[in-house]
Amino acid sequence: MSTSRSTAKATTSTAAEPSSRWSPRWKNRWRPWTASSASTSSSPSEPPAGPSQRSTAEPFGLKEGGPMNTSTTRETSVRPALRLVTAAALLFFLAGALAAGPLVFEKPEYAGRRARLMDRIADGAAIILGAQPQAGYYPFVQSNDFLYLSGVEAPNAVLIIDGKRRESLLFLTLTERTARNDGIPLVLVSDPAGATGIERVLPAAEFTAALEKLAGQGYVLYTPFMPEELPRECSTEKWRALQTAMITNPWDGRLTREGQFRKLLGERFPKAEVLDCSSMIWEMRTIKSTAEADLLRKCARIGVNAYREVLKAVRPGMPEHELAALFEYHCKKAGAGDLAYYAIICSAENHPYLHYYKHDRILRDGDFVVMDCGPDLKGYDIDITVSFPVNGRFTPRQKEIYEACLAVHKANLGLYKPDLTADMVKAGVREILEKQGCNLDTDAFKQLSGGFGHYVGLAVHDVGRGPAVLRPGMVFANEPLAVFPAENLGVRVENTVLITADGCENLTDGIPREVRDIEEFMKKK
């Protein structure tokens, strides 16, 4: 993003607010197809620093262990030929697993990210808390900022990125037993430094001593003030929810985990300066690397193909939950680990609820559906919305509204390129629509909103402010939409877009979008 990070230094007080301003979604701020050319409204204030139930400043109480001992199992008696086949198959499987390693990307990718953060914190060190295990029978998932900087998926980990010494320290609580129980690669126990590329890997019991050393040497201590972001979460949206439910609730009053950690840092190291590094990490996450873009392309293909299967299957009389199940089935069949978010399906009287997720209607002949779903592949998300008639035939009114939305969507795609501002895209969209002879005074155009929807990446509503200037590597949703509550009708056309060196790439191209193409495609049932 072109907007510069505020250099104002924060205090350690838990009442202090982060200095910059945040807005995870800015799609309703400008309407390029209306007559007004006023600039977009200012973004809401950044959520105040929010703070947690449990501190990880204390040692985790686990002693450092050497390389793990392999479990001893009694080999069962099998015929030699079968044993050879089984061994060969196992070696083939393990070779593939070892080639991939415990990281999504190659180690230099993560080292480069840490180095860029070091450039921003040359006067200190960043302390990044990893996620804690969830209660209940859920697989462990790492928080997005920690995953972005380390690639390490292990519970209760802590990462220190030292900007002065240009090195990183990883603190782990893993044992062979806990790794096996949680399905964590055992190499993170036997050779964590080699597996991660992080210079120093230490037991969590040494974390407090490391902090004391940094504070004693006059380091500025950087740490994220914003809540950790787990799958299907957005940090800024999570902050607003936690603020209402906990922080400002007179019958609760708990801090977020990050806020509690800040508080403890201030109490234990009163002379140390503690600053927020959320904005630094988020600015880095805004620009996707080549490796990230490649992974997003693969994720996009999964989502596009799943939608094509849904369009071929939909019919009057089908429950909405069957549509959701079909999409999820085809995504996971193709290799997605999960959905990026719970499937949104709006039809009939539920169109005014833009994120309706109950899947509780039976689709009827004549219904028009807005379906908003996307896959998650190795932690990266894709966002796609399709709008279609259940019976495969647009009514004149459905066609009018849909084609207005699609015209704006296509105009956006034709304009996105580096160095353009939102106002420049606005003006360009209006000019394109007028040249096409569109009547911008109709309600179909007047009700439309959208353009830049939100960033997409490790979170489907990825972190960062709306772009003042487009830059190569930005990935975001192009999602104009309109809702007509009195008519039980809504429409949204959404693709995930990557800004390239000379334009943009529609990552989710391949879904029928023109009215005639949708109708023709849906005949193939």
Q: Do 237 and 462 touch, CB atoms closer than 8 A?
A: no
Residue 388's SS3 state is strand
Provide the 8-state DSSP code for 48: P
Q: Do 303 and 375 touch, CB atoms closer than 8 A?
A: yes
Neighbours of 420 (CB within 10 A): 16
Q: Do 480 and 445 touch, CB atoms closer than 8 A?
A: no
Residue 129, token pair as written in the block: 């808390």
Q: Rounded to whole angstroms, how far apart are CA atoms 116 and 281?
A: 9
Maximal C-alpha separation, the chain:
81
Cβ partners under 8 Å of residue 131, min gap 6: 140, 141, 142, 143, 146, 155, 228, 230
Q: Rounded to whole angstroms, how far apart are CA atoms 455 and 470?
A: 12
Residue 404, token pair as written in the block: 């207005």
What distances in angstroms separate CA 204 from CA 57, 67, 155, one per listed residue?
10, 16, 11
Q: Rounded to whole angstroms, how far apart are CA atoms 374 and 52?
A: 30
**The sheet that has 200-203: what strands, in order across it?**
200-203, 167-172, 158-162, 124-129, 220-223, 274-276
Residue 480, judged by CB atoms within 10 A of its CB (0-12, 13-18, 19+), counts as buried
Q: Rounded to whole angstroms, how far apart are CA atoms 346 and 125?
A: 47
Upper half-sphere CA count for residue 95 (Cβ side, 13 Å): 6
Residue 36, judged by CB atoms within 10 A of its CB (0-12, 13-18, 19+), counts as exposed
User: Which pLDDT does position 59 carry in this prediction?
Assistant: 30
Cβ partners under 8 Å of residue 114, min gap 6: 149, 150, 161, 168
User: Which pLDDT does position 245 carry in this prediction?
Assistant: 84
Neighbours of 278 (CB within 10 A): 24
The crossing angle, in degrees rounded to 10, of helices 422-435 and 396-415 is 130
What distances in angstroms separate CA 448 from CA 9, 32, 351, 403, one per listed residue?
41, 9, 14, 11
Q: Rounded to whole angstroms, how far apart are CA atoms 460 and 379?
A: 10
Strands 489-492 and 481-484, by their bridges, are antiparallel
pLDDT beneath 50: ranges in the chain? 1-100
Q: Do 373 and 303 touch, CB atoms closer than 8 A?
A: yes
pLDDT tens per residue, range 6-32? 333 333 333 333 433 333 333 333 444
End-to-end CA distance of the chain: 45
Q: Rounded to whole angstroms, how far apart are CA atoms 98 and 295?
A: 19
User: Which of 168, 156, 171, 158 is CA-nearest to residue 112?
Assistant: 168
Q: Rounded to whole angstroms, how far apart are CA atoms 374 and 396?
A: 29
Provide the 8-state DSSP code for 102: S
Backbone phi and psi for residue 312, each to the nearest 5 degrees, phi listed first: -75, -25
pLDDT tens per residue, range 419-474? 998 888 888 998 999 999 999 999 999 888 877 789 999 999 999 877 789 999 99
- Per-domain boundaries in the chain: 103-285, 290-522
Amino acid, res. 396: P
CATH number attached to the domain at 290-522 = 3.90.230.10
Equal CATH topology for 103-285 and 290-522? no
Which CATH fold would you assign to the domain 103-285? Creatine Amidinohydrolase; Chain A, domain 1 (3.40.350)
Cβ partners under 8 Å of residue 8, min gap 6: 19
Residue 489's SS3 state is strand
User: Which of 365, 349, 300, 350 is CA-nearest to residue 511?
Assistant: 300
User: Which pLDDT does position 252 carry in this prediction?
Assistant: 86
Residue 466's SS3 state is coil
Strands 200-203 and 167-172, by their bridges, are parallel
Residue 216, token pair as written in the block: 């004693």
- Please name the residue ranges forming H helices in 138-289: 144-150, 176-182, 187-190, 192-196, 207-216, 235-242, 257-268, 278-286
- Please name the residue ranges forming H helices in 121-206: 144-150, 176-182, 187-190, 192-196
